[in-house]
Amino acid sequence: MTSTNARRAAIYTRISLDASGDGLGVTRQEEDARAIVSSRGWEVAGVWSDNSISASDARKVRPGYDALVKAYDAGAFDALVCYDLDRLTRQPRQLEDWIDAAEASGLALVTTNGEADLTTDAGRLFARIKAAVARAEVERKSARQKRAEIQRARSGKAPVKGHRLTGYELGGRVIESEAAIVRRIFAEFLAGGAVHGIATRLETEGVPTRSGRRWNPATVTTILKNPRYVGRVVYDGQVLEGVVGQWEPIIDSADFDLVQAKFNDPARKALKVSTARKHLGSGLYRCAECGGPMKLKGGRSYQCLGHVSRLQAVVDDYVLEVIAERLRQADASELLAPEEADLEPLVAEAERLRSRIAVVDEEYMADLIDARLRRDKVARLQAELTELDGKLASHRTGSALGGVLASPDPAAAFLSSGLMAQRAIIDSLAEVRLHRGVKGRNVFDPESVSVIWRGTD
């Protein structure tokens, strides 16, 4: 029979890693703890457990431990049994909380390898030494792991622990299905796509993320800014200069640098408004009569005031199919013009101009120059930057086309690409001119849409 003065004992079990996933480790700890409770004539007030959860990091959530603390605060038990002190905690600060509890209310803390009496000086000294040794062991292990990670990074090897990068397995092997998504994101952004728009299209199309969560602008931005996609080694948030990654790059270095230049553009930071087009042919198609750009009016028709008005849906469908058919031809790979110019000097010059604009802004904020001088300086630098961006524009559209041509099925890749990439590819391959439709005819006439291939006589 249990004494009316018997303590109410809480049992806490934990192992850091349950490799088998069967929970037998915590089960054995509970069996040993129950034997201790029974031998002392106590009652089991409850069992709290954290299976395969480390206690080394105080920031890591341990649901069982947190529930144990709440139960004690609620007066649910006055004795605590665990396999060993380092199963309960490896944090000296957490241990002090239990010592305070023992001093204040006489909490009995028992381990299956002997009683740790926290109500005595000797017992508290033993517990503190035990916790300090456990903490030192954790810190030594962490230091060894950090040295190994640094050595691995300096040798150019891909990480083998932590969260894997979209497009790669841990260790650096390319996952082609995910790599295609990464290439698409870069191509669409270089073609003028907005980060928010790219994320929206991927989500709408049901394209899976690495984690299975929803696409959002932050996810797309993280991909666009990660240097590992071009074979650059990153450690502790910094690129290790002079170290070449021992894995296959997914993105071309010049394209990556262009993306970073766009992100660092002061004008982009100041004007956080998307300028991305929302319709395939708006501003891209031309009026066959005056040569002016066609604009979408009323949400249904491309119009050139006083000349041509054509239904958007049927024209877009026709243009997409004409371009796709061209990409199905055996000589489609020849559509990509060879790289003639070294883009690195252009990218570097663009970055220099953006840095100068940023300096001018800092001078203005520090009251070193007035508003008029700032405006004149920025206008001059911005004019140079605009001219430079024009020189880079052909490469940006070529990047979108190159990504499609690298696919096993270029036509399918084009048709599944985002809006901005499709616009860039159409613009790089052809000029689309819209003619007047025949009045009274409701049937679409392909002859009323001219697709004029670039580079042909």
Q: Which range (136-150, 194-208, 227-241, 428-442) has the least confidence?
A: 136-150
Among 10-24, 406-420, 423-437, the range with the most confident prediction by mean pLDDT is 423-437
Look at 435 and 355; give whichever has higher pLDDT: 435
pLDDT score of 424 more than 50 = yes
Q: What domains appear along the chain, each with residue ranges and CATH number?
A: 8-138 (3.40.50.1390), 176-251 (no CATH), 286-453 (no CATH)
Determine whether 434 is exposed, middle or buried from the number of CB atoms within 10 Å of its CB (0-12, 13-18, 19+): buried
pLDDT bracket for residue 277 (50, 70, 90) = low
pLDDT at residue 273, as a whole number? 43
Among 118-127, 128-137, 442-451, the range with the most confident prediction by mean pLDDT is 442-451
Whole-number Å distance between alpha carbons of 80 and 373:
73
pLDDT at residue 73, as a whole number? 93
pLDDT score of 441 more than 70 = no
pLDDT at residue 393, as a whole number? 55
What size, in residues, is the chain? Answer: 457
What average pLDDT does this structure show over 173-189?
90
- Give the list of residues 6+ apart from residue 226 with CB closer than 8 angstroms, or none: 165, 234
CA 71 → CA 35, 38, 109, distances in Å? 22, 21, 15
| Spatial CA neighbour of 402 closest among 319, 326, 332, 330 | 332
Q: What is the pLDDT of residues 28-40, one digit of tens each?
A: 999 999 999 999 9
pLDDT at residue 123, as a whole number? 73
